[in-house]
Structure 1
Amino acid sequence: MPKVVDHEARREELAGAVWRVALRDGFPAVSVRTVAREAGWSPGALRHYFATSGDMIVFAVEWAVGQVRRRFDALDAARGGAVTPAAPMGILEQLLPLDANRRVESEAWLAMVGNAHLGADLREQRREIDRLIRHVVRTVVRQLGDLGRLATRRDPEVETARLHALLDGLAVQGIADPPGITPAGIRAVLRQHLDDLAH
């Protein structure tokens, strides 16, 4: 009988190799060659699942989005859906390179932004990620209003755009080599910005 191949399990195996390379060497080091070597596969065998580095970027970003969504769900479950004073900061921290995993997620996002011109899949994924981030930021601005921490003369849509831009900038500076800002610095800038919105 022919051997039955579990293609989904193979993709999961390769996903593990993608993230091991990314965590160890940074996301720019992810390529068909480096991932194949990490997984113990030949580049030709890997190309049955990911024909190009762009395909791996798409897969990696999809995985990262799933991780972020799971963290949001866990935060929401922990507070029972209630808006607490710590909620806005806790939510936004999930989008920033504050530890090794989130740094690689930010590197994957930046790689996707830089390669979005290479294909329709990457362009659509970039739009999807931007929509997700904008939705999260809009939710945080609404929470600040509910907590009485958004001044009445502030335009929520303008503040959503400003905060989204700030997050993008902090993510880029946080993953620069050498980093332009430390995790403690990222938290301090973000906390100051949220505090300023009350005035």
Structure 2
Amino acid sequence: MKILAIRLKNLASLAGEQVIDFTAEPLASAGLFAITGPTGAGKSTILDALCLALFGKTPRLASINALTKVPDGEDEIGTNDVRNLLRRGCGSGYAEVDFVGVDRTPYRARWEVKRAREKINGRLQTSNQSLLDLDSNQLLASGKKGEFEELIQLKLGLNLAQFTRAVLLAQSEFSAFLKARDDERGTLLEKLTDTGLYSRL
């Protein structure tokens, strides 16, 4: 799997449309790059967009209590609901990722959320995901969550837990690894990469 581009609109701290194209310069020829900036600049939002487009979930919200609610107009929404990532005062938003799958075919995965009639005070609607084959311009999945989940895992070769471990190592887990004593690093590394099986063998 290779990520070609990340596009997002009106998510968390990033207003309007944003595009990160890994096939264009200066990123195309960069062997390594870093996402940097002050707190609130949108670093985590970029990673959220990547996970939302591919899985409709984000690890950042996974540890938040599902029972806690926040007001949303006349309704309430769970604090761990990914629709909370829609920027306040916006009628719609999306996350989109172009990637090359394990079958070497380019795809576009998209997650989107809207308010009723796309009005900023409209009721929050159910989010939607779609998967497009970029070579044939054929829509492979749209609307049916189970169908999308099965297909995206097949095209990526990874589920969300595997993707998080292999591609998107959580900041807190990486920090724990860096600060660990030498004798604890091996155990932590096994946990982060889910390779404990090899030690047991």
TM-score after normalising by structure 2: 0.27
Higher relative contact order at CA 8 Å, sep ≥6: structure 1 or structure 2? 1
Query: In proportion to residue count, which structure has more helix?
Result: 1
